[in-house]
Amino acid sequence: MRSTLFLVAVAAIGLLCGTPVNGQSYAITNARIVTVSGATIDSGTVVIRDGLIEAVGPNLKPPADAKVFDATGLTVYPGFIDALTNLGMPAGTPPPVRGAAPTAAMVATSNSNYPAGLRPEEAAEDELRGGDTQFEMNRNAGFTTALTTGRTGIFNGQSAIIDLSGDSVSAFMIRSPFAQHVSFATVGGGVYPGSLLGTFSALRQMMYDAQRLQALQKQYAANPKGMKRPDADKSLEALFPVVDRRMPIVFNANSERDIIRALDLIKEFKLNGMIAGGQESWKVADRLKAANVPVLLSLNFPKRTTAMSPEADPETMETLRLRAETPKGPAKLAAAGVRFAFESDNARSIGDFFTNAGRAVDAGLSRDIALRAMTLASAEILGVDDRLGSIEPGKIANLVVIRGDLFGKDKYVTHVFVDGKYYDQKAPPKVTPQTTRGQGENAAGLPNVAGAYAINIEVPGQPIGATLTLAQQGASLTGTLVSQLGTAPIRDGKMTADGFSFTATVDFGGSTIDIIFRGTVNASQISGTIDSPQGVVPFSGTKTP
């Protein structure tokens, strides 16, 4: 069905393009143009040249050298902005297992005075890798820009605003660094801070130390004679712009009390703060408004995963209420005058972003504000509204063309332009049911992990049993994970000579989280670690005959 639509769309355009095409002028004609910054044009033309929007208007003639797309019946929007992702970032170094000796990675990757997790100098810019295929899924959904950052540690590090295009990091970078990102997490492995109590104390101490070091360095620069040389501490130096309010600091906080804690810290150190996630931010809308703190608001609304045990306890009222109330949150934030930008929050399916934006609209959020929260309002919060977020001449040519209603089920993205490049919409790769091969090694010389395993996930004090069923096709793994947390299909399953890895999404404590399995297979035994937002736990299992 989808591929038929695609063909129809292509036929309507009357063009077949390779992907991507650059150095070219394009004109999108006969389109409904939602500029966001100005009035919507019922039927008009957008001209793109050399990566920028050259002209927009109802009665524009396409330039002679432009490739023309007839967009009759279609709508052009500014490219959508995802206000918090880890797109382009390698999978994070997992925090250490409780009780384990510091890993080589912890020790070797940095000469910082601070342990992994307390290194604000780590920057997305240094971790990002080029290659535009990694953004394909998000781009096909209509996203052209994203804020991206690491997600591990207390200091997640410095984020970057990127275009979802480009072969090289230097080409797709829009702004770096944008902000420092913080989670109320712990360092773990017996290293301070090992609890939420310590996390706040450690954050405070580093802020004070950064303030002092900056003052001392200034004093020394002015007159080094007779003064002991202050430290050149790169971790503290990375906080200078934060304590000076030159760089925003984004606190990942979903619960009401974590958001209040973040706001208290923002007030205590007079920071240029933001909240990310913000599931319960509507409960503290008045505080957010009073503090003028914007929210990078998650559209990964809590949802119920597949059911499991018939003898399970009833769900808590908090969980039931959270699922019911969260979609109403954006409308309440808007009514209170809180600024917000939507973010996907690593949703299992990127399509949830628009489905849930639609639910927020159904719950009373105006369509205009919903659209702005993924375009111009996001660009404003990210400080790039002078170049992104609306369809205006001179802005970056990030555009998305849509058939159907943006918030409806019939929404279909027909064209995407990033940095003036046209990206042909590919039909999603066909998923063919994969069969398990025979025992022994696969054709590629890789170990075979296919089969069903009874595994034990060693959550401290609370081991969880689960059944893992894996199918292997070359280096690709598929299958399911069945546990008390529900039945979850696995994705991103990979087998290399070093071992296997895959991701499963489970419902844990009322929110949907990704857990990443990494392990090795040895005959009928598998073992490894699971990386989750709550920390890292080991697992092991045996093949069931």
Partner 1 sequence: MRKSLAILVLMVISMISPALVAAQSQTAVLIKNATVMTAVRGTLENTDILIQNGKITKIGKNLNAPVGAQVIDASGKYVTPGIIDCHSHSMLDSINEGTYSVTSMTRTRDVINPTDITIYRALAGGVTTANLLHGSANSIGGQNTVVKFKWGHAVEDYPIADAPPGIKFAMGENPKGTNSGGRNAVPRYPRTRMGVIETMRDAFLRARDYKQAWADFKSGKTKIQPRKDLELEPLVEVIEGKRLVHAHDYRSDEALNLMLLADEFGFKIATLQHGLEAYKIAPEIAKRGTGVSIFTDSWSYKLEAYDAIPYNAYILWKNGVVVSINSDSDERMRRLNLDAAKVEKYGGVPEEDALKMITINPAKQLGIDKRTGSIEVGKDGDVVIWTGHPFSVYSRVETTIVEGEVLFDRSKDAQMRLDVAKEREALEKLDVNKADKAGGPPTRVPTEKRLADRDEAEYGDGGKR
Q: Which stretch binds partner 1 (CB under 8 A): 18-26, 236-244, 252-260, 513-521?
A: 252-260
From the list 16, 108, 221, 312, which residue makes contact with partner 1 (rule: CB under 8 A)? 312
Rounded Cα distance between 469 and 478, Å, is 8
b/e 430-454 (16+ beta carbons within 10 angstroms → b): eeeeeeeeeeeebeeebbbbbbbbe
Secondary element (H or E) of residue 482: strand 476-483
Q: Does 270 bind partner 1 (CB under 8 A)?
A: no
Residues touching partner 1, count (CB under 8 A): 62
Nearer to partner 1, 146 or 206 (CB): 206
Residue 126 phi/psi, 5-degree rounding, is -80, -20
Nearer to partner 1, 28 or 253 (CB): 253
Q: Does 204 bind partner 1 (CB under 8 A)?
A: yes
Per-residue contact flags (x/-) with partner 1 for residues 448 to 487, judged by CB under 8 A: -------------xx-x-------------------xxxx
Rounded Cα distance between 254 and 238, Å, is 26
Q: Please compute Rg for the chain using Cα positions.
A: 25
Nearest approach in angstroms of CB 183 to partner 1 is 13
Rounded Cα distance between 531 and 349, Å, is 20
Smallest CA-to-CA distance from 125 within 187, 182, 174, 166 is with: 174
Nearest approach in angstroms of CB 482 to partner 1 is 11
From the list 67, 175, 303, 543, which residue makes contact with partner 1 (rule: CB under 8 A)? 303
Nearer to partner 1, 310 or 429 (CB): 310
Give the angle subtended at the CA of 403 by the CAs of 401 and 405, to the nearest 5°.
110
From the list 18, 23, 314, 545, which residue makes contact with partner 1 (rule: CB under 8 A)? 314
Q: Does 316 bind partner 1 (CB under 8 A)?
A: yes
Nearer to partner 1, 16 or 312 (CB): 312
Rounded Cα distance between 274 and 459, Å, is 32
Nearest approach in angstroms of CB 99 to partner 1 is 2
Q: Does 438 bind partner 1 (CB under 8 A)?
A: no
Per-residue contact flags (x/-) with partner 1 for residues 171 to 190, judged by CB under 8 A: ------------------xx
Nearest approach in angstroms of CB 109 to partner 1 is 21
Q: Does 197 bind partner 1 (CB under 8 A)?
A: yes
Q: Does 228 bind partner 1 (CB under 8 A)?
A: yes
Q: Does 349 bind partner 1 (CB under 8 A)?
A: no
Nearest approach in angstroms of CB 509 to partner 1 is 7
Q: Which stretch binds partner 1 (CB under 8 A): 17-25, 106-114, 318-326, 370-378?
A: 318-326
From the list 19, 72, 113, 201, which residue makes contact with partner 1 (rule: CB under 8 A)? 201
Nearest approach in angstroms of CB 513 to partner 1 is 12
Nearer to partner 1, 73 or 190 (CB): 190
Cβ atoms of 83 and 343 closer than 8 Å: yes
Q: Does 315 bind partner 1 (CB under 8 A)?
A: yes
Q: Which stretch binds partner 1 (CB under 8 A): 67-75, 192-200, 414-422, 449-457?
A: 192-200
Kindly list the distances between the CA atom of residue 338 and the CA atoms of 274, 282, 388, in Å, as whole numbers in the listed order: 11, 9, 21
Cβ atoms of 420 and 50 closer than 8 Å: yes
Q: Which stretch binds partner 1 (CB under 8 A): 17-25, 152-160, 166-174, 506-514?
A: 506-514
CB atoms within 10 A of CB 64: 6
b/e 74-87 (16+ beta carbons within 10 angstroms → b): bbbbbbbbbbbbbb
Q: Does 195 bind partner 1 (CB under 8 A)?
A: yes
Smallest CA-to-CA distance from 181 within 82, 262, 285, 298 is with: 262
Rounded Cα distance between 54 and 71, Å, is 18
Q: Does 196 bind partner 1 (CB under 8 A)?
A: yes
Grouping H, G, I as helix, E, B as strand and the rest as coil, residue 395 is coil
Nearest approach in angstroms of CB 510 to partner 1 is 9
Q: Does 98 bind partner 1 (CB under 8 A)?
A: yes
From the list 205, 292, 520, 544, which residue makes contact with partner 1 (rule: CB under 8 A)? 205
Rounded Cα distance between 265 and 286, Å, is 17
DSSP 31-68: EEE--SSSPPEEEEEEEEETTEEEEEETTPPPPTTSEE
Q: Does 198 bind partner 1 (CB under 8 A)?
A: yes
DSSP 164-232: S--SSHHHHEEES---EEEES---BTTBSP-SHHHHHHHHHHHHHHHHHHHHHHHHHHH--TTSPPPP-
Q: Interface with partner 1 by CB under 8 A: which residues?
A: 98-101, 189-198, 200-201, 204-205, 208-209, 212, 215-216, 227-228, 256-257, 260-261, 301-317, 319-321, 323-324, 327, 461-462, 464, 484-487, 507-509
